[in-house]
Amino acid sequence: MNFLIALLAIILLEAYSELGAVQRDGWVRRWHKGLAAIEFLARPSVIRLALFVAVPVILLHLVLAVLSHQWGLLVFVLELLVLLYAMGRGNLDTQIALFTSDLERDDLRAAFDDATVFDLSHREGVVDNIEDLREQVFASLPYRIFERTFVVIFWFYLFGAPAALAYRLLALHGDLDFDETDADQPGLKWLWLMEWLPVRLLGLTVGLVGNFSYAASAVRKLLFCRSTGTAEFLRHVVKGALGDEQASSALTHQTVSEVTLLFGRAMTGWLVVIAILVVLS
């Protein structure tokens, strides 16, 4: 059933691009403020982070366990809604279209401004000048695609809706509780750990649907590197998968299209593998 739910979620995401009707984060902000209002949890801590993630996840698990005995269809709908909620925020298709339109017009200033929506700078890196734009896009755009679908689908397939929700709560916690002077906050470390395995599997998949030798070389070099963030890992792998010539050329709308097509093929590969695993099981 997880495969069917994941497939339906991907179809809905592709059809509507933005899931604002499902992805309402007001309760997350209220939950975050409520925990911060408790005296011994006022300062950011591992305990507050654990409660922020664990309580909703445990409640969801209990609800699904109770409903699963008699209400199979309701469980299906609830898991689908949770998976859609756990997907990445924003209309990425529109954001990419605006960015590629800027590149087609050679409007670097507008491209710089529109590229900021790809850059989750509270996690890794910041674009400081136009010269850095290409390198940052190679990191931030693949990461946005990865955190929007791939990592969520990975954890959902393995451990169900509670795991997908846990990942999204960690990501949202970084948005709500980020201190620019504290890059070592526990939330970022936990997020990196949840992304570690799926991003490396994605790196191999991207290599299989792109230039395998270059991508595999990047994966092998960074496989066990503890200091390399997810976005930086993807930057090396995607540049390798596009091939040396494409990766070293100037940033154009064709390059951006190649990146999105690469991830489209990778998602198809993931769904095929999941389907095969379902059949074999």
Q: Per residue in 182-199, pLDDT tens? A: 555 788 899 999 999 999
171 has pLDDT over 50: yes
The answer to whether 238 and 206 are in contact (CB under 8 A) is yes
Residue 78: per-residue pLDDT: 98
The pLDDT value recorded for residue 108 is 76
Structure tokens at 202: 């994605």
Please count the structural domains in the chain: 1
More confident residue, 37 or 135: 37
**pLDDT, position 195:** 97
| pLDDT at 276 (0 to 100) | 94
Q: Give the relative orientation of helices 253-280 and 186-209 as an angle to the nearest 10 degrees.
A: 90
Domain of residue 79 covers: 2-280
Which of helix, strand or coil describes residue 247? helix
Beta strands in the chain (DSSP E): none
In this predicted structure, the answer to whether residue 273 has a pLDDT above a threshold of 90 is yes
List, for residues 158-169, the tens digit of each pLDDT value. 999 999 999 999
For 112, other C-beta atoms within 10 Å of its C-beta total: 17
Rounded distance, CA 59 to CA 57, Å?
5
Single pTM value for the model: 0.91
Output 54 or 244, whichever has higher pLDDT: 54
Residue carrying structure tokens 């994966």: 219
CB atoms within 10 A of CB 230: 25
Q: Can you state the angle between helices 133-145 and 92-104, rounded to 10 degrees?
A: 160
Q: What percent of the chain has pLDDT over 90?
A: 68
Token digits of residue 64? 């699904």
* Residue 128 confidence (pLDDT) above 60: no
Phi and psi, residue 221, nearest 5°? -70, -35
Structure confidence by residue, pLDDT tens digits, 61-84? 999 999 998 898 999 999 999 999
Of 129, 151, 115, which Cα lies nearest the Cα of 234? Answer: 151
Tell me what pLDDT residue 232 has. 93
Q: At what angle do helices 161-176 and 26-37 cross, to 10 degrees?
A: 70
pLDDT on residue 109: 78
pLDDT over 90 (residue 180): no
Q: How far apart are CA 8 and CA 46, in angstroms?
A: 35
Does position 249 have pLDDT exceeding 70, yes or no? Answer: no
